[in-house]
A and B are shown apart, each in its own frame.
Chain A
Amino acid sequence: MTRKTSKAPKKKTEFVPNIVVFACNWCSYAGADTAGVNRIQHSPNFRIIRTMCSGRVTPGFVLKALKLGADGVLVSGCHFGDCHYIFGNYRAVEQFDKTKALVKTLGLDEKRVRLEWVSAAEGPRWAEVIDEFVGQIAALGPSPLNHQPKSKE
């Protein structure tokens, strides 16, 4: 991660969000590739985990990421009708509804988790979604479960 370091250590609490992205193999992962190949500038604060289908991303995946200190989790799959496995993204919606409810009960902000659809051709949209989500998490601040030191020089 390259980030401009300021000359003086003025801001001790500069917050760099840590975001985990679950991207499906067929659309969103390829969408992220497209964004890279087209050299579209976007925030570098996320780590992608590739899953075969967004429907595979159960609450357990997202909760584990949050438990280990992720500030936000993005689940991304194919648009409705485009799923490689026909109905996988409908399952993703069911699973994500559960996840969202659990995250709310845990007292974490619901905005820390997000479900998005990005196709393989939508490189610019991928960059847009990532930038928007990173901005949203940066505004929320670090997760209460984030065990890492807040300051990064």
Chain B
Amino acid sequence: MEITVDKLKKSRAFLCLECGKCTAVCPISSFNNSYSPRRMVAEGLFYGANGLISDPLLWSCLTCQLCSQRCPVDVKYSEYIRDIRAVAYSQGSWGNPSHGGAMHHIMEMAASPKLKQDRTGWIDKDLKVKSRGDLLYFVGCLPYYQDFFAKDFDFSPISIARDTVKIFNYLGIEPVILDNERCCGHDLYWLGQFGQFDELGRLNMKEIEQTGAKTVVTACPECALTLKQLYRERLGPVSFEVKHISEFVAENIDKFKFNDLDMEITFQDPCRLGRYMGVYDQPRETMLSIPGIKMHEMSHNRRGAICCGTTNWMNCDATSKQIQHHRLAEAKATGAQTLVTACPKCQIHFRCSECGEESEKVDIELTDFVNIIASALKG
């Protein structure tokens, strides 16, 4: 496998003006001056992908799209990096995975058709779900995060799944939940592992189609992006509509009645929800319709929001920690007590950066969009 001219054309890398705006805004470059998106593009174009394949920094890109947002000629840097990673992966080179690669092993194991997971243990009697219907809730990796992170970080990722079902039940909807739902494959896609990604996509699409679901709602922006755009791109048309939970709540906002919640919050735009899918207003509007909530915007917000520091569970290092620390400090500086995110991974990464020395903590509360909505539901 080699990087082809076609692929370079598709990511528009040929058009690079070498203006360096990408490097100026890149969160990684701000803290690690040996990393530069401009240099990555220039090197790839002058010398081919071979030099980049052995570069460990190839795996550092957050694919957060902040650079593409500023690029005057719209070079799709994330796609450029993804294609080079695909070549690198096919030649046996790989990055430095966090958590000993446990997450990647889980994703790759999920691509095995024979696997029958036991992932619905969190559904208790209070939650009403069914096995066939119009609306499907795609849980994502939350049961695994519960096993892996709950003890270390003193928070419950699975509460996001429970609260999402509570929101559906509040509207009288019983969502479909798949017994053997696979990982969506988002991370494998951005790491260039297309073979396994396609396998996961096919398995998931088959499972979803069997339930007869017309709408798929998910509380994870990465799952939403994958189901909505990436499956279509790799595997052809899908038979269902995909929404993030914030879009779903915004559409049905008239049907909700909220209690007062006396909170001052700020919102972290997840890269996939914001820059990739263009959902900026829905989470803000729905949270502001809860009486008592005051919203403070960070100076980097919406299109300019800064990433939570790690993507694809890859190359998490001192730079990632610095990005996280600065982002949390920015949130704290707004005067808000709580930082709300709409992505479980953002929360995990921020909580991880708060695990260090007591004196280095930013000390801001973290919660998910879904938890806020569910805690405000009346009756």
Q: Which residues on A are within 8 Å of B, measured CB to CB?
A: 58-61, 63-64, 66-67, 94, 97-98, 101-102, 104-107, 144-145
The residue among A60, A94, A145 with the most chain B CB atoms within 10 A of its own CB is A60
A79 to chain B, nearest CB (A): 24
Q: Are B112 and A64 in contact (CB under 8 A)?
A: no
Q: Are A64 and B106 in contact (CB under 8 A)?
A: no
Find B99's partner among A58, A94, A105 (CB 8 Å cutoff). A58
B147 to chain A, nearest CB (A): 4
B116 interface residue per 8 A CB criterion: yes
Q: Are B102 and A106 in contact (CB under 8 A)?
A: no
Q: Are A105 and B118 in contact (CB under 8 A)?
A: yes
**Which residues of B, 54-105, contact A by the 8 Å Cβ criterion?**
97, 99-102, 105
Q: Are A145 and B115 in contact (CB under 8 A)?
A: yes
**Which residues of B, 112-170, contact A by the 8 Å Cβ criterion?**
112, 114-119, 121, 143-144, 147-148, 151
B101 to A, closest residue via Cβ? A60
Known: A98-B151, A102-B147. A63 touches B106 (CB 8 A): yes
Find B115's partner among A94, A98, A104, A144 (CB 8 Å cutoff). A144
The answer for the CA separation of A144 and B119 in the assembled complex, in Å, is 16
Q: Are A104 and B118 in contact (CB under 8 A)?
A: yes
Q: Which residues on B are within 8 Å of A, measured CB to CB?
A: 97, 99-102, 105-106, 108-110, 112, 114-119, 121, 143-144, 147-148, 151, 180
Q: Are B109 and A145 in contact (CB under 8 A)?
A: yes
The residue among A58, A63, A104, A145 with the most chain B CB atoms within 10 A of its own CB is A63
A143 to B, closest residue via Cβ? B114
The answer for the CA separation of A67 and B101 in the assembled complex, in Å, is 12
Additional 15 contacts, C-beta under 8 A, given A102-B144, A107-B118:
A58-B100, A59-B100, A60-B97, A60-B100, A61-B100, A63-B101, A67-B108, A101-B148, A104-B118, A105-B118, A105-B143, A105-B147, A107-B117, A144-B112, A145-B109
B201 to chain A, nearest CB (A): 19
Q: Are B119 and A105 in contact (CB under 8 A)?
A: yes
A147 to B, closest residue via Cβ? B112
Task: Pull 22 A–B residue pairs with CB atoms less than 8 Å apart, ordered by A.
Answer: A58-B99, A58-B102, A59-B99, A59-B102, A60-B99, A64-B105, A97-B151, A98-B148, A101-B147, A102-B144, A102-B148, A104-B118, A105-B144, A106-B106, A106-B109, A106-B115, A106-B117, A107-B115, A107-B119, A144-B114, A144-B116, A145-B114
B143 to A, closest residue via Cβ? A105
Q: Are B148 and A59 in contact (CB under 8 A)?
A: yes
B119 to chain A, nearest CB (A): 5
B144 to chain A, nearest CB (A): 6
> Which residues on A sit within 8 Å (CB–CB) of B108?
67
B188 to chain A, nearest CB (A): 13
> Which residues on A sit within 8 Å (CB–CB) of B101?
60, 63-64
The answer for the CA separation of A60 and B102 in the assembled complex, in Å, is 4
B174 to chain A, nearest CB (A): 23
> Which residues on A sit within 8 Å (CB–CB) of B117?
105-107
The answer for the CA separation of A61 and B100 in the assembled complex, in Å, is 7
A72 to chain B, nearest CB (A): 15
